[in-house]
Amino acid sequence: MSAVPLAPTSLIDCTDATENELLVVEGLSAANAVKPVRDRRLQAVLPMQGKIPNATRVSEERLLAHPNVADLLQSLHPKRLIETQITHCRYKRIVILADPDADGVHASMLLLLFIYQYVPSLFEEGRIILLRAPLYGFYQAEECVAIAYSEQHAERVHVALTKATEVTLVKRRFKGIASFNTSLRLALVAPDNPTRKILSVDECRDLCQPLLQ
């Protein structure tokens, strides 16, 4: 395998070299939305434009040549091989933060599948976190009073809100992370966000099963 060159210019790094994490987001608009609300000391941001190939269906050479894969590996440890030991990873956690739509979910699954195939030790050490952004917001005037992560979740939230209040609420579909207001973005990237999910190897395999068929 080829050695990995220097870190990508797209990486927005943090200042703490030990207790840190890498937020992997979809594209520059998401990165620009996350950058001002992240913890600059602890949270680095890496934008990835578009989807990577299915790691089970293309050659290693083609996969490693993809810009998104190269950027990720370069960010994790410049000049290291893909088999780099987990102790050499520059970030304690890698947080996959996808846009909430179907394309975002698919893109995150492809990225998780790559890690599962080539760097499974990241799962074994509990370093891979999946963070889903909400898909809908329920608004009273211009205030977001509730969020939902899927169409089915939105239906349940709507029923609960209707029973709890007589005020008419408006359901809005978010257009990616860049469409969130500041408070929503702050809550989303906060290290104590309760929706963060540390993925095990088995959970990743189950999640990526549609791509393995």
pLDDT single digits (tens) 65-80 = 899 998 998 888 765 5
- DSSP state at residue 149: S
pLDDT single digits (tens) 148-191 = 998 999 999 999 988 887 778 899 999 889 999 999 999 999 99
CA angle 192, 193, 194 (to 5 degrees): 100
Q: Name 35's bridge partners.
A: none
Q: What is the share, in percent, of the chain residues with pLDDT greater than 70?
A: 92
Domain range list for the chain? 21-133+178-212, 136-173
- DSSP state at residue 111: H
What is the rounded distance in angstroms from the CA atom of residue 135 to the CA atom of residue 188? 12
Instruction: Give the C-alpha distances (Å, rounded to integers) separating 192 from 30, 79, 132, 182, 186.
Output: 20, 32, 14, 17, 11
pLDDT single digits (tens) 28-37 = 999 999 999 9
Q: What is the share, in percent, of the chain residues with pLDDT greater than 90?
A: 59
Fold of 21-133+178-212: Rossmann fold (3.40.50)
What is the rounded distance in angstroms from the CA atom of residue 23 to the CA atom of residue 189? 8
Residue with tokens 């030790």: 121
Other residues' Cβ atoms within 10 Å of the Cβ of residue 57: 11
- In 3D space, the residue among 34, 16, 71 whose CA is nearest the CA of residue 187 turns out to be 34
Q: Per residue, what are the HEC states of 12-58?
A: ECCCCCCCCEEEEEEHHHHHHHHCCCCCCCCEEEEEECCCCCCCCCC
